[in-house]
Structures are given as C-alpha cells and as structure tokens.
Amino acid sequence: MQKIKFYNGEDIPLELHKVRVVQKLHLVPIERRLEALHEGGFNTFRLSTKDVFLDMLTDSGTNAMSDNQLSSMMHADDAYAGSQSFMRLRNAVEKVLGKKYLLPVHQGRAAENILAKTYVRKGNLIPMNYHFTTTLAHISENGGRIAELLYDESYVINSDYPFKGNINIEKLAEVIEKEGAKNIPFIRMEASTNLIGGQPFSVQNLRDVRSLADKHGIRILLDASLLGENAYLIKMREEEFKNNSLGDILQIITEMADIVYFSARKISSSRGGGICTNDENIYKEMETLIPMYEGFLTYGGISMREIESMAVGLYETLDETVICQSPNFIKYLVDELDKNGIPVVKPAGVLGAHVNAMDVCSHIPQSQYPAGALAAALFLISGVRGMERGSISNQRDENGNETYADMELLRLAVPRRVFTLSQVKYVIDRMTWLYHNRALIGGLKFVYEPAVLRFFMGGLEPVNDWTHKLIAKFKADFGESL
Ligand code: F0G
C-alpha cells in the first residue's frame, strides 16, 4: 500500500475508514479507579468496563466489525445441520487459508483442546517458536511438554531484528535428533508470536522448518490467529514478497502447514474459531470430537450470525487497508513511547505495544510481579486497561515453584479500527507521566491464586501503600483533571 504523506511532514497513520457506530466511554475519577482495583484484586481481567476508559486488554473479540460483516449477519441460515452459512464459511476458509476441510470450534482454545486431545500423548514434545498461555495449558493437560526454540535475538527487547518469531533451525534439528520424530506429534508455528510482543516469522523460516519436518516426517501445525498481520509484516520486511498481495502471502504460508487453526475472535474480527486441513485423514481423526465438545459439525458452538460475519471477516483479511490499520497505529504508539525514553519491545509488532516492565519497574523484584504492578499503576492514573504478560501469566512448576517469565511486559492492545489517534496520544501522555514517576510504583502479592491460568481470576494486593503516593503525585501534577 502506498504511504500517504502529510504536507507538514508529520508522520502519522491515516484512518482509511469512517466511524458510523459509536459507543460512549466513561473516564471515572482516580479515587474510583483505586476502588475498582481493590474490587478487582489488582488484576485488570477482573475490572468492570464501567470503570475502564480505553480498553487495551486485548484484540480478542474487540476488533471493530465492518458494515459488510454486520449486514451479513442478517442472512444467517439458522439450522442445526447443513446450514448455508457454514457452506459460505467453508468457502471463505478455502479461498483465504487454502484448506478445504473445516472443523468449527467456539474459539481458539477449543481448537487447542481438540488438537491436544487428538495428537498429544504423555511424554510427547512439541517444538514451537513460543507458547501461548492456553496452548501450553492444553498440551500440559494431555501430558505433553514444549520446547521453545527462538533465536537469542528474539529475547532482546530493544532490537531491530525483523522476524523475532522465527524458529531457530539449528536448535530444532537438535531437538528432533534428541527426542526422535516419533515423540513429536507436530511442530507448532504461531503467527505473530503473541507473548514475545506480537512478533512475526518469515516465509523463509517456515520454508526451513518445512524441509526439516519433511526430512523427519513430522507435521506442521500453524496457529493462524494473527496471520493477517504476520503476512502484512512479511510484505513490509521480507524483500522477496514486497510486491505480493496479502492473499498470495497467506497462501504461501498456509500451503506449508498440514493443519491450520485460528481464533476467529482475532483473525476475522468476529467470534468462534476453526481447525482446517487438506488431509481427509486428519479431518477424520478429529471429526467426532467436535459434536462432543463444541456442537454439530456445521456450527461448532458458534451462532450462525457469527459464522456469516466470520466468513466476511476472513475475506477482509485480504484487504491491506483493513489489516495494516492496527500495526500502523501500534508502530506510531511504539515510536512515540520510544522517543519519550520508555522501554518498549522493538521493532513494533502486531496486537499492541509492549512496555518492558522489567526495566520500567527495575526496583520491583520478579517475585512481586513488575508487569502486573505496571498494569495496575497505568489503570490507576489513566483508566487505560492493559494486560500483564509476565510471570503472573506463567504457571507454577509441578513442585509449586514460580517459573519466572523471560519477559515482564505490559501489553497495550490496539484492536482493529477501534481507537482514534487522540486516544492513542492520551495513552502516550499518561504512560510518559507514569514513566517519569516510576519510582512510586510498588509490587504486588497474591491473595488468591488459582492453580491453572491464574492470571485470569487471580487476586492480588499492593505490598505497601504505594497507590496512595502515586495518587498524591497525580493530584499535584494534574490538579482536578480526570
Ligand atoms: N493462539 C493465539 C496466538 C492467541 O493469541 C490466542 C488468544 C489463542 C490462540 C486462543 O484463542 O482466545 O479464541 O480461545 N489470545 C487472546 C489474547 C486471548 O488476548 O491475546 P481464543
């Protein structure tokens, strides 16, 4: 897509859509935000949206829908079996993801449940670029282990390495050699690797993974939840593909995967999810689990209206003006935070900006959860809800010990076509103020800790009275401003 230049030289992303449906937001006073934090156990998942100003928790199910998606919902064919809406979805999957067999599921992690139940056995090893929280939970539940095989550069926060989501090919070869192909049901590639900052892999890397997989007869499983943006960054960063359309790049990638699964809450700005393949045997292996866990094979627990909007959303993944919006806003956000000295994951990826809490809160030990503390502090002083992506999002090992995360990140998600530029500027302003006052942020401790996926419902509290000191400084600097 051509860059649109401004006469005044400003380098800002220009929205190529207009806003036709709006939702009122509330910016509540800082005292109420403190109460809300206490009520929600200092866990941004447990906040109520009535207290949230800009919801940057996730892009999952929060991307703006297009007029065509909304209108498609009106011709949904409500039938338990054989619905025409499902046929339209299957066509869209074949056109966009190049796979003709489709198993519908109610969301991405439901696909992971079916896949892990079908293919992961006790003691199996799943090599991957990096885990996602729900993926790891399903693999572990079925007795499997994972091997995360990124290059060292991928863990460097301040970097210009364009494909931090690449699998380290030498390490992959070693792991296969050591484990034996028989113990490896598949290699998992996650597009726009979420937990390291929404970082893409390159086509060349996937080609290298494919040739190793072929040599050993191992399948490749692609998590395509953020595939559109990964394809966009390939177009921007991988010389060979600069003149290809997103559609071309999607085909090239999905052709190399034996099984593709996705969260439609992400890739198609709708709800639901799916598992797709061109191999009838693979389809058959999972077929019976869909009616058991999800719903009949032509709806998979998703409403027909959502199935219609998923089909349209998948076609819209081919439109660069739709797909570039979020990464371009993220790039603006990351560049401005970086200019203000705030440590952020670079290069800018997809999904959101990722602030390095380990650095911002270097005075808070990992045992007091710096990323969780930063998420709470930002909400307190701005009403902006981000997500902790650090040690709270990790699970304890089998002996109950903490497994500290490689990175302590505060993720500020930028869902597709939801926020305006002035709202993004507000985030930059408040984050910069918080950075200048970072010494006032203190740690957190658990008061309620679920054993699995503790970050969702866990409850924490501040280790001392740091929230009051932060509020006092906010009042001194902003006066009566919200
Ligand atoms: N895979 C990836 C790469 C994801 O980012 C997600 C969800 C899933 C699988 C699971 O899909 O939510 O539909 O069950 N990511 C969300 C997030 C939750 O906020 O990053 P799901």
Residues annotated as catalytic are 80, 132-133, 223, 266, 389, 455
Domain with CATH 3.90.1150.10 in the chain: 30-59+322-478
In a mutational test of the pocket of ligand 1, which residue from 128, 131, 132 has the highest number of ligand atoms less than 8 Å from its CB?
132
Ligand 1 lining (C-beta closer than 6 Å):
58, 60, 107-109, 132, 134, 190, 194, 223, 225-226, 263, 265, 273
Q: Are 451 and 44 in contact (CB under 8 A)?
A: no
**Percentage of the chain surpassing pLDDT 70?**
100
Residue intervals in the chain for CATH 3.40.640.10: 67-318
Segment 235-240 shows an average pLDDT of 98
Burial-class residue 297 by CB neighbours within 10 Å (0-12, 13-18, 19+). middle
pLDDT score for 3 = 84
Q: What's the token pair of residue 135?
A: 């993926």
**Residue 314 banded pLDDT, cuts 50, 70, 90:** very high
As a dihedral over the C-alpha atoms of residue 320, residue 322, residue 323, residue 329, rounded to 10 degrees, the angle is: 110
Which atom of ligand 1 is nearest to 191's Cα? 3
pLDDT digits (tens, 9 = 90+) for 351-375: 999 999 999 999 999 999 999 999 9
Rounded Cα distance between 63 and 336, Å, is 23
275-294 pLDDT, tens digit per residue, is 999 999 999 999 999 999 99
pLDDT of residue 458: 97
pLDDT at 173: 98
Whether 1 shows a pLDDT value over 90: the answer reads no
Amino acid at 141: E
State the SS3 of the chain: CCCCCCCCCCCCCCCCCCCCCCCCCCCCCHHHHHHHHHHCCCCHHHCCHHHCCEECCCCCCCCCCCHHHHHHHHHCCCCCCCCHHHHHHHHHHHHHHCCCEEEEECCHHHHHHHHHHHHCCCCCEEEECCCCHHHHHHHHHCCCEEEECECHHHHCCECCCCCCCCECHHHHHHHHHHHCHHHCCEEEEECCEHHHCCECCCHHHHHHHHHHHHHHCCEEEEECCCHHHHHHHHHHHCHHHCCCCHHHHHHHHHHCCCEEEEEHHHHCCCCCEEEEECCHHHHHHHHCHHHHHCCCCCCCCCCHHHHHHHHHHHHHCCCHHHHCHHHHHHHHHHHHHHHCCCCECECCCCCEEEEEHHHHCCCCCHHHCHHHHHHHHHHHHHCEECEEECHHHCCCCCCCCCCCCCCCEEEEECCCCCCCHHHHHHHHHHHHHHHHCHHHCCCEEEEECCCCCHHHHCEEEECCCHHHHHHHHHHHHHCCCC
Q: Which residues of 138-171 are buried (b: 16+ CB within 10 A; e: fewer)?
A: bbbebebebbbbbbeebeebeeeebbbbbbbeee
Amino acid (1-letter code) at residue 312: V
pLDDT tens-digit series, residues 387-411: 999 999 998 988 999 999 989 999 9
pLDDT tens by residue, 190-232 = 999 999 999 999 999 999 999 999 999 999 999 999 999 999 9
Question: Which of 109, 115, 193, 412 to probe ligand 1 with, by most ligand atoms within 8 A of CB?
Answer: 109
pLDDT for 395 equals 86
Distance 107 CA to ligand 1 centre (A): 8
Residues 6+ apart with CB under 8 A from 56: 352, 384, 385, 386, 387, 411, 412, 413, 414, 427
* Domain topology for 67-318: Aspartate Aminotransferase; domain 2 (3.40.640)
Q: Inform me whether the pLDDT recorded for 233 exceeds 80.
A: yes
Is 103:297 a contact under the CB 8 Å cutoff? yes
The predicted structure's pLDDT at residue 452: 86
Taking CA atoms only, the protein residue closest to ligand 1 atom 20 is 58
Which residue from 222, 263, 385 has its CB within 8 A of the most atoms of ligand 1, so it is best to mutate?
Answer: 263
Q: How far is the CA of 93 from the centre of ligand 1 (A)?
A: 19
Domain topology for 30-59+322-478: Aspartate Aminotransferase, domain 1 (3.90.1150)
Ligand 1 centroid, distance to 7 Cα (angstroms):
40
